[in-house]
Structure 1
Amino acid sequence: MNTTKLKSVLCRAAAGEELTIGFLGGSITQGSLTTQPENTYAYRVYRWWCETFPQAKFHYVNGGIGGTDSLYGVSRAVTDLLMYQPDFVVLDFSVNDTRNTFCQETYEGAVRRILSWPSRPALVLLHNIYYDSGLTTEAQHGAVGDWYALPRVSVQNTIYRQMKDGQYTMQQLTPDGLHPNDFGHGLVAEEITKLLADVNAQRDEPEAESPLPAPLTANAYENAQRLTLREACPALHGFRADTREKLGHLDHWKNGWFAQKAGDSLTFTVDCSCLAVQFRRTIQRPALQAQLVMDGDTAHPILLDGNFDEDWSDSLALTPVLHHAPRARHTVTITALPSAAPDPTPFYLLSLILA
């Protein structure tokens, strides 16, 4: 573990500088199931900086979005975190990446994008876990952390192990087997601040910074780009552009395109070797479905189902279309499909993600 960058930020805080403390991740980082934002692990870590270095000035950036993985994370890292020039970052996608089959590569893309950003932030990796099943992608993400010699906090090796040993019950930590409650967030924050306190105690000890190594994976996603209404101008044939002003990164259902009836379509022309489509799955069922056809290949359409079979919230669905294909120019046409419902909820397309 190399802590040179972290020691540098701690020294700057001790000197009274103005610093930005940032977080990027999924619903746990966002603070799902906490009673108030100040009880999230992220805000508690930010508060540690404020209380430990009262002579410094700190800014807080929480880029957590529920239900999203590192493929979406790397594509939005700049707009939701890095544009604020963070000095310290915690990265958290180890439960959200469990359905992402190439998560190690997209996660490495997020790591490299953060480490190479001009503000040169110190990066700490947080590996959360499903408390009910033990499911996590810590092994894949941890290999990336080891490759870059990054400080890491493992919930599996700390809080989860303590729960399995009988120190806590699962009900004390989480109401749903995944998202920590206020007490659970406090424990996660404690593990991160223990790390910070240990490094702070040695902050004046010299340490050579490790150069950024060659990528561990094929690393196609480091410079992933997200195309919304602001970045793309597809040909519209029935789809409408949503011109409402987006208010922050949690104001999801804006700056996209929507279809209100069967046959509505739109077509993008893009250059890429990797592509994913991001759309809304809604609890307001029934909703329109759509199909995606690439390069006119109507024999192999991809179904985009706008119906979400949960009841907690609409979902930011992300469907990979290309992965490591030869880089080429492609046409992507999305067409709303017929529905038996008389007045279905519109199909909503948020973005394309290209790499």
Structure 2
Amino acid sequence: MNSTSIKLIVLTLLAVFPIDTLQADPPEYHAVKAKLLKPRQGIGNALEKLKSEAEVRVAYLGGSITAANGWRVKTTKWLQSAFPQAKIHEIHAAIGGTGSDLGAFRLAHDVLQHHPDLVFIEFAVNDGGRQPEAIWDSMDGIVRQIWKSNPQTDICFVYTFRVNYEKELRNGDNPRAASAMELLADYYGIPSINVALKIAKLEQQGKLKFISETPVAEGIVLFSRDGVHPLDAGHDIYTEVIADAIRQMETTAQPVDHSSKLKQPFVTGHWSDAKMIPLESSMLSGNWKVLPAENVLQKRFGGRMGQIWEADDPGSKLTFRFRGSQAALYDLLGPDGGQVQITVDGKPHAKLTPRFDSYCTYHRIATLNLAAGLDPQQIHTVTVEIDAAQPDRSPVAFRLKNPEEELKTAKYQGTRIRVGKIMLRGELVP
């Protein structure tokens, strides 16, 4: 075979398998030993800017532990005091109750448009119920999106604590979600900080209680009320561990161009193509309307979701077509939420999908999964139609003082569906 033939074969393979989808061997999950810090290639780019008189944008992508005014705010304050010459801007990109699966879709809007120099990623608790392979798909997608946007941006994984994680940590191992992330971090040279390990060690030493209904003895730190969300003292411990880790990395880390790491992904199913697309009126039928700027829900959630659309008439539909493998809606759950019939390529889902659950004493951002694992080369049609009946409200009853009466109030009546954006892995087809 001559050189011209070989070249043609290589070009053909690259056309069929783009360079960012090639992978030598699929990873195999195993538990990874826990350490407070694994510096790997560090955060040299960010540290170089922190030591200068530059503007430094630090993003915090995570769930409710990061959304709280705790380690995120305290770490930003510490960075400003440790590097007073820098002008630090905090990018708050955390949403309670969400994991890296939503994170991959909202990354561009919540993080990348702000041009971060450093991104802390905290999803080890909220990804705790997912399989390693699913975690790799979304986390690999997040990493690759960040470096495609700017290969000079540094990334650092942060592993936080929840009760039951101590079982593995006491044996020196990471829990499953953190272990999965560690395998990916090893592959890309991403540093990781394990604040959960510090909490577990302090408890073993008798210096901390994870949770207590009664006052703890003097000198003992009460970590949380629920075993997950730290009290202020718990956030202080997180911040101290992170600050110490940054100081350690400061002694060894060098600036790195991360672009070469994109040549071969950790997993071929990475969600680097995840995106969000605003709704258009042409997709809607029925009594859909945009929430006005002064609406309380638009004020509260519009910063994340963009323009929110609302409908409540039975039979009102959202219909769109796309070429790709996965689709979902970025929507709201709430006490007046309805339920919908989802139809994909002419096949209705076997059950109605409620936009209400056991937490719905209030409204919150959620994800309505529509389809996954579709043929990415085919055009798919998705319809979401509001059902005439409201979903069962009883799952929330245990949170109410007088459920029999409260569930009859106007707050818990309705078939309302509220949607911000379409989440796609693929491209919208007009």
If the TM-score is normalised by the length of the shorter chain, which range does it land in? 0.7 to 0.9
Identity of aligned residues (%): 22
1:225 has 2:275 as partner: yes
Q: CA deviation at 1:239?
A: 4.3
Q: CA deviation at 1:316?
A: 2.6
Residue correspondences, number: 341
- What is the TM-score of this pair, normalised by structure 1? 0.86
1:13 has 2:45 as partner: no
- For 1:132-159, what per-residue CA distance to the aligned partner results, in whole angstroms no more than 9, with x for missing partners? 5556611222211111111101233222
Q: Distance in 1 between matches of 2:269 and 2:152?
A: 20
Q: CA deviation at 1:308?
A: 2.1
> Which residue of 358, 363, 382 maps to 1:309?
358
- For 1:269-291, what per-residue CA distance to the aligned partner results, in whole angstroms no more than 9, with x for missing partners? 12211222333221x25x32111
Question: What is the SS of the residue equivalent to 2:43?
Answer: helix
Judge conservation of contact 2:223–2:234 (CA < 8 Å) in 1: yes
User: RMSD across aligned C-alpha pairs, in angstroms?
Assistant: 2.7
Equivalence for 1:212: 261
Equivalence for 2:127: 97
Question: What is the SS of the residue equivalent to 1:153?
Answer: strand
Q: Distance in 2 between matches of 1:7 and 1:338?
A: 57
Q: Distance in 2 between matches of 1:224 and 1:26?
A: 19
Equivalence for 1:146: 186
Judge conservation of contact 1:28–1:66 (CA < 8 Å) in 2: yes
1:348 has 2:418 as partner: yes
- For 1:144-186, what per-residue CA distance to the aligned partner results, in whole angstroms no more than 9, with x for missing partners? 1111111101233222232244321013111111111111111
Q: Distance in 1 between matches of 2:238 and 2:88?
A: 21
Q: Distance in 2 between matches of 1:200 and 1:223?
A: 33
Judge conservation of contact 2:136–2:270 (CA < 8 Å) in 1: no
Q: CA deviation at 1:251?
A: 4.6
Judge conservation of contact 2:61–2:119 (CA < 8 Å) in 1: yes
Judge conservation of contact 1:308–1:314 (CA < 8 Å) in 2: no
- What is the TM-score of this pair, normalised by structure 2? 0.72
Judge conservation of contact 2:285–2:318 (CA < 8 Å) in 1: yes
Question: What is the SS of the residue equivalent to 2:196?
Answer: coil
Q: Distance in 2 between matches of 1:17 and 1:254?
A: 31
- For 1:99-118, what per-residue CA distance to the aligned partner results, in whole angstroms no more than 9, with x for missing partners? 44412211111122123322
Bigger radius of gyration among the two = 2
Kindly provide the amino acid, as one letter, of the partner of residue 109 in structure 2. Answer: T
> Which residue of 272, 281, 284 maps to 1:236?
284
Kindly provide the amino acid, as one letter, of the partner of residue 143 in structure 2. Answer: V
> Relative to structure 1, is the Cα distance of residues 150 and 4 closer, same or farther in structure 2, using a 3 angstrom cutoff?
closer
Judge conservation of contact 2:120–2:156 (CA < 8 Å) in 1: yes
Equivalence for 2:236: 186
Equivalence for 1:62: 92
Equivalence for 2:107: 77
Equivalence for 1:23: 60
Kindly provide the amino acid, as one letter, of the partner of residue 125 in structure 1. Answer: F
Within a 5 Å distance, the mapping from 1:164-203 to structure 2 comes to 164-171=204-211, 172-203=222-253
